[in-house]
Structure 1
């Protein structure tokens, strides 16, 4: 997969410049085992519709999506009156889908949402049903990057429906547009009633990578597919480490803010700016009211005096069909329905989710009318799309450990190079 600019995404500018690199928790060469385990199911699928007219399907989604999923499934049943559909719903987030599905594929949902960094692992486990119904139409209707994220070895294994990366929310009664251009500008302010000027999840590899990418470091080479390459311990990676050590030492920095702390901080008025994604847009907007604002991630200045733009990791939400479903045609039809243009638009309107549907993504006026989506579009040009190589299984734990050591103060400028070398060695270690 060669590095390239992807010119089809959230707006004319959104996801333009997104690099096909980064990492995921699966393997790009996966699929051989899945091909043998699920291809047999797929080959007979086209003729295996449920002739009885009564179909039961289990659907998994996040807690926040339950009401919307039920609404969409009811609409699907109403649009297909020739069959009697019964739906059972389960709460499994996109982040947890891989773990829960692989635990027992036969007991997993017929249709479930998952994060795109899980595609290869799910395919390798034989858990995903290859898309055989309306494949060309699905490919044509969604952005190239999202289709790539749902594919292994040129075979489509899912239905993309949301573009994800992170950006910065801020309280514009506390920070100006000039202030939020840089971390230095944010941190320099003394703000009455605010205990945290800038909040970030330092020990989460998805977020932490944004500092390294901003400095020009590469994870698994130029295109994210070389399992022998990670340069987070080079000279520029060292400067990132220095920056993070100084930032964590600043009492105005929130070093370990997860979603709950971010939302609570804005609600209480003790937080000025924080890095998060569209999934928190509704609650943050409700807390800030007229002072609600969002923009791309800020710039930061390295120890050599160079100012760089923070990068980010980007991925997608994908709807998958269980390879062991008893109703493959119905499950595929439902997955396609749940991710069609109308339902992507509904997610945009209800949850501020950026669509992968090309027509919606290119409606710049509508997309930019949403503050969070506009911010995502600004940041997307600096984002690196996660790829799927199995070596990425080795990334998340060392990234977390490195962040935790900085927060704990056990990673210092005196031992920083040693810590970075250990970080990279763990990332590149032979998979067990």
Structure 2
């Protein structure tokens, strides 16, 4: 905005000074002078801003006399641990005059908020967490707001949706890192055609014919959401902080009982396996499982398991009351947060910037299969053409940003497990109990 204002003002001044000129030649000279002056102003402003950034880093280095101790918490997966270790070494190499002791801890993203809030002062200086944990972390005063930047402005380099999700009341509280926290269908095209994977009916039929299986963590509240959401039923967080849920509705186009029955029918199919991520990957590697509902974090495992048959697509449709209904899903992002209680906040923020820069996000994406939030990195041909990210993009049309209260997870998981096992006598009562727990 500052650059644009200077450019406009200079252009206006030049125009005023040239009012006495006439003819096309004079006008052309004026326009060239306007452009040159504005470009010079922009270049001068950029140089000034660059110098300010360099000065801020120089001041940080000058103020550092002791070794800088930092702890980074990130996913326990091998791919994350490896790429973060590489990036941390690159960061240290940029500042050879500073002694760093940077420890990388293995922290489940799903549990990050709870582990941070259990003892904020002892938590990591930086930590990777999903976007739905942001508000609780902000309300607890655990996050350092991003009010100062050193090398670039995260609000300008990342997709607007990720910046909005990382902000509260217009203030940025975390550094966007990925824009791929959702789920879709991995499949082996050596066994399944594009038509096979369009619906659960055809998918399971094809798997049965070949003596193979298909996986999904139906008993997982995160995944099961997709069935009810696809059928137009509601589950969201209200303004009062309580969950709003009508999964037991009896007056909607597709009733809650009809959707629940469809889920139960899918789970009764002998080709269907209710399984968690790690088990699905193992089943795929041993050749048993030829398709699985999963996310980008599992990309490397399915690439290895399926080889030249590796493929991915949006979630299948499923049958409700004799009609095909497209599954919905949750969508989300991952951020790096800086602990408000860090003893080295300046260095923690500079490291967070480094780890979420265009170059770093590209390396993280290639190492883990997760899509970057950085606009330039996400548009690169190498990343944009990745099957998993293309599938996620296709599914995004049917995805909702994950915004649910804590009371959602346990009752929804119990509901899912009951539908998987067929452990109920009255499906409407099962739904009524689940909704009562979710909305309490």
TM-score range normalised by the length of the shorter chain: 0.7 to 0.9
Q: Deviations over 1:388-417 (max 9, x none)?
A: x6xx111001100101111222224xx111
Residue 128 of structure 1: aligned partner: 143
Offset, 1:306: 2.3
Residue 28 of structure 1: aligned partner: none
Q: Is the 8 A contact 1:298 1:310 kept in 2?
A: yes
Residue 230 of structure 1: aligned partner: 245
Q: Is the 8 A contact 2:187 2:291 kept in 1?
A: yes
Q: Among 230, 236, 258, which residue is 1:239 paired with?
A: 258
Q: Secondary structure at the match of 2:178?
A: strand
Q: Secondary structure at the match of 1:188?
A: helix
Residue 17 of structure 1: aligned partner: none
Residue 322 of structure 1: aligned partner: 339
Offset, 1:192: 6.0
Q: Is the 8 A contact 1:179 1:185 kept in 2?
A: yes
Whole-angstrom CA distance in 2 between matches of 1:103 and 1:48: 30
Residue 406 of structure 2: aligned partner: 393
Q: Is the 8 A contact 1:193 1:270 kept in 2?
A: no
Residue 375 of structure 2: aligned partner: 358
Offset, 1:82: 3.8
Q: How does 1:284-303 map to 2 (within 5 A)?
A: 284-303=302-321
Offset, 1:186: 0.7
Greater Rg by CA: 2
Residue 104 of structure 1: aligned partner: 119
* Cα RMSD after superposing both structures: 2.1
Q: Deviations over 1:221-274 (max 9, x none)?
A: 7x88873631111142222101011111111111x2111111111111111211
Residue 377 of structure 1: aligned partner: 393
- What TM-score comes out, normalization by structure 1 length? 0.82
Q: Is the 8 A contact 1:53 1:82 kept in 2?
A: no
Gaps of 5+ in 2: 1-58
Offset, 1:334: 0.4
Q: Deviations over 1:3-32 (max 9, x none)?
A: xxxxxxxxxxxxxxxxxxxxxxxxxxxxxx
Say whether 1:250 aligns with 2:263.
no
Question: More deviation in 176-185 or 97-106?
Answer: 97-106
Q: Among 308, 324, 328, which residue is 1:311 paired with?
A: 328
Residue 21 of structure 1: aligned partner: none
Say whether 1:273 aligns with 2:291.
yes
Residue 23 of structure 1: aligned partner: none
Gaps of 5+ in 1: 1-46
Say whether 1:162 aligns with 2:190.
no
Whole-angstrom CA distance in 2 between matches of 1:339 and 1:73: 12
Q: Among 100, 110, 131, which residue is 1:95 paired with?
A: 110
Residue 73 of structure 2: aligned partner: 60
Offset, 1:361: 2.4
Q: Among 83, 94, 99, which residue is 1:84 paired with?
A: 99
Offset, 1:184: 0.8
Residue 20 of structure 1: aligned partner: none
Residue 427 of structure 1: aligned partner: 438
**Corresponding residue pairs, total:** 373
Residue 282 of structure 2: aligned partner: 264
Offset, 1:66: 1.6
Whole-angstrom CA distance in 2 between matches of 1:302 and 1:411: 19
- What TM-score comes out, normalization by structure 2 length? 0.80
Change (3 A) 1:190 1:274: closer
Residue 187 of structure 1: aligned partner: 204
Offset, 1:355: 0.6
Q: Is the 8 A contact 2:200 2:266 kept in 1?
A: no
Q: Secondary structure at the match of 1:68?
A: helix
Offset, 1:189: 2.2
Relative contact order, higher structure (CA 8 A, sep 6+):
1
